[in-house]
Amino acid sequence: MAAIGMGGVTLHSLRHTHASTLIAAGIDIVAVSRRLGHASPRITLQTYAHMIAGGDDRAAQIVGAAFGSKAVATT
């Protein structure tokens, strides 16, 4: 990538940045997996699970709302 002024940037790092950006934006893991060409979303999850944050808090909010809870997570 040095030819375009991006020394030290590899295609692999661009691929990782692409996947990480999609996950951070909330794109579902199946869609990300398809874009990366992984044989299974399991491969994507094994590689990028650390990027998926706050899912449990959000799930608790949704279930709480379904049961009429007025408590809201502060994260």
Taking the alpha carbons at both ends of the chain, their separation in whole angstroms is 39
CA–CA gap between residue 22 and residue 39 (Å, rounded): 18
CB count within 10 Å of CB 45 equals 17
CA–CA gap between residue 2 and residue 14 (Å, rounded): 14
CA 72 to chain centre: 23
pLDDT tens per residue, range 12-51 = 899 999 999 998 888 999 999 999 999 999 999 998 888 7
Q: Does 75 score more than 80 pLDDT?
A: no
pTM beyond cutoff 0.75: no
